[in-house]
Amino acid sequence: MRVVLVTYGSRGDVEPMTGLALRLAALGAEVRMCAPPDFAKLLDSVDLPLSPVGWPIRALATGAVPGKAQAGLSGIAAELTAMAYEAVAGVAEGCAAVVATGSLPALAGARAAAEKLGVPYVFTSMSPCYLPSPHHPPRPWPGQVIPAEMTGNRELWDLHAEHMNTMFGETVNTHRASIGLPPVDHIRDHVFTGHPFLAADPVLGPWQETPELAVAQTGAWIRPDERPLPADLEAFLAAGAEPVYVGFGSMPMRGANTQEVSRAVIEAVRTQGRRVLLGSGWAGLTTDDRDDCFVVGEVNQQVLFRRVAAVVHHGGAGTTTTAARAGAPQVIVPQVADQPYWADRVTELGIGTGHHGPTPTAGSLSAALETALAPETGARAAAVAETVRTDGAELAAKLLLDMIGRRGRG
């Protein structure tokens, strides 16, 4: 049995799909991953074959792909839809299912390939806030104008669907016509389907049932990481009290001066009497020459976050879950997409706080850290850590294989 997993997104999309892939493989399935070429080394390290999709995601996000810096998502949608279609169509013939997440144009291409090949397609969301529901409003989409008098969740989701049609409808249907498929009227609902998977922890990101969608919430898809920490990082951790980790993952923090942000976060942490551990990430955070500050690249956060006083980060679903699972208090500095949702959830749960605005200053971050480093926040974070599910990928793999089996028997 062969399953194709698809994403065009950053590490926060690829990591959970890798977690699912490993569980599927453990249960006897053959897995192929379609993802940006940036992740060839990661996937090779766990023996997952990669079919590259599109441009390197980091280059695209940081404006380094020639001719794409000013295009925006709508400007590259046609190419991305076609590239995802070609990648999936090239490996999915005869497979048992296509499971997809990531950007909407790539999802449309993945579903078109599955449809063309007669293969079941399963959409996955990493956050409940992306799924239409009368219980919460949609996240604002760049360029979308929302009338002031429109406040009801259902009408806001209807407006969201119209906006998706305006942005991507013509592009997606032009591509579908080129491969002999009929047009679709509702792009978002076509891509999301009526029965998506939700790969989010039920405590951190709960889903309220609604008649509109039959959502299978499995818990977050976690790839177990057993790598040791680098020796120089171990030496820094052993040299003093628990530091505060600050890193913004796959966020380039456009419009912000890297040096200024680095100085601000270092000063904020020092104001709280703590040592500083910087994750350089796409933001390129840099340290100064004092021995209470250390900078690291990509490391095992599952291990690291258990050894820090707090985690300051961008609010990606994966980083939020990893910090919560480690019992580390959090400060989320949201940049885009679902990150404000996770900032709100961390605040509501009492396991940290959200930062107001995408660019921290020394004063604003120091104030947020006062909340995160308070004893009651630490105690609450430790308590919530005990509730975070670790079997989400296994549950999703079993649900998927059961779905495939029922289809086969039918």
- Select from 112, 106, 91, 96 the least CA-distant residue to 48: 91
Q: What helix, strand, coil percent values describe the chain, rounded to 5? A: 45, 15, 40
Are 244 and 189 members of one domain?
no
Are 217 and 164 members of one domain?
yes
Report residue 147 as tokens. 């009338």
295 membership: H or E segment, kind and range: strand 293-296
Helix 375-385, helix 317-326: angle, nearest 10: 100
| Distance, CA of 280 to CA of 265 (rounded, Å) | 12
- Select from 2, 256, 8 the least CA-distant residue to 111: 8
Rounded percentage of the chain residues whose pLDDT exceeds 70 = 97
Residue 158 forms part of a structural domain: yes
Are 151 and 287 members of one domain?
no
Please write the tens of the pLDDT for every residue from 55-74. Answer: 999 888 888 888 776 556 66
pLDDT of residue 143: 73
Does residue 144 register a pLDDT over 70? yes
Residue 254 forms part of a structural domain: yes
Question: What mean pLDDT do residues 256-282 have?
Answer: 92
Q: pLDDT band at 146, cuts 50/70/90?
A: confident
pLDDT of residue 73: 64
Are 286 and 203 members of one domain?
no
Are 398 and 381 members of one domain?
no
Question: What mean pLDDT do residues 301-309 have?
Answer: 98
Are 298 and 362 members of one domain?
yes
For residues 289 and 253, the model is more confident at 289
**Could you give phi then psi for residue 76, rounded to 5 degrees?**
-105, 5
Q: pLDDT band at 334, cuts 50/70/90?
A: very high
Number of domains in the chain: 2
Burial of 307 (0-12, 13-18, 19+ CB in 10 A): middle
Beta pairing class for 97-102 and 121-125 = parallel
pLDDT of residue 254: 62
Q: pLDDT band at 198, cuts 50/70/90?
A: very high
Are 84 and 53 members of one domain?
yes
Are 8 and 151 members of one domain?
yes
Residue 226 forms part of a structural domain: no
Domain of 195, in residue numbers: 2-221+390-409
Q: Using alpha carbons only, what angle is made at residue 121 by residues 42 and 55, rounded to the nearest 5 degrees?
A: 40
CA 219 to chain centre: 14
pLDDT of residue 63: 81
Q: pLDDT band at 410, cuts 50/70/90?
A: low
Strand pairing partners for 7? 101
Question: What mean pLDDT do residues 217-239 have?
Answer: 97
CATH assignment of the domain containing 102: 3.40.50.2000
pLDDT of residue 52: 96
Please write the tens of the pLDDT for every residue from 336-390. Answer: 889 999 999 999 999 999 999 999 999 999 999 999 999 999 999 999 999 999 9
Does residue 169 register a pLDDT over 80? yes
Residue 285 forms part of a structural domain: yes
Around Cβ 134, how many Cβ atoms within 10 Å?
A: 14
Residue 178 forms part of a structural domain: yes
Does residue 145 register a pLDDT over 90? no
pLDDT of residue 72: 61
The span from the first CA to the last CA of the chain, in angstroms, equals: 17
Burial of 335 (0-12, 13-18, 19+ CB in 10 A): buried
Are 296 and 164 members of one domain?
no
Are 216 and 359 members of one domain?
no
Residue 366 forms part of a structural domain: yes
Q: pLDDT band at 236, cuts 50/70/90?
A: very high
HEC letters along 360-389: CCHHHHHHHHHHHCCHHHHHHHHHHHCCCC
| Distance, CA of 169 to CA of 215 (rounded, Å) | 24
Residue 331 forms part of a structural domain: yes
To the question of pTM greater than 0.85 for the whole model, the response is yes
Cα distances (angstroms) measured from residue 16 to each of 77, 137, 225, 286: 24, 25, 12, 28
Does residue 251 register a pLDDT over 80? no
Q: Using alpha carbons only, what angle is made at residue 340 by residues 224 and 374, rounded to the nearest 5 degrees?
A: 75
What DSSP letter does each residue of 92-151 carry, written as one string? -TT-SEEEEEE-HHHHHHHHHHHHHHT--EEEEESSGGGS--TTSPPPPPTT----TT--
| Distance, CA of 108 to CA of 273 (rounded, Å) | 50
Q: pLDDT band at 289, cuts 50/70/90?
A: confident
Question: What mean pLDDT do residues 251-256 have?
Answer: 68
Question: What mean pLDDT do residues 238-265 have?
Answer: 87
Residues 102/126, Cβ–Cβ less than 8 Å: no
Rounded percentage of the chain residues whose pLDDT exceeds 90 = 84
Question: What mean pLDDT do residues 29-53 have?
Answer: 95
Are 326 and 397 members of one domain?
no
Residue 129 forms part of a structural domain: yes
Beta pairing class for 121-125 and 197-198 = parallel
Are 262 and 363 members of one domain?
yes
Name the amino acid, one letter, at 86: E
Cα distances (angstroms) measured from residue 31 to each of 4, 61, 137: 6, 27, 35
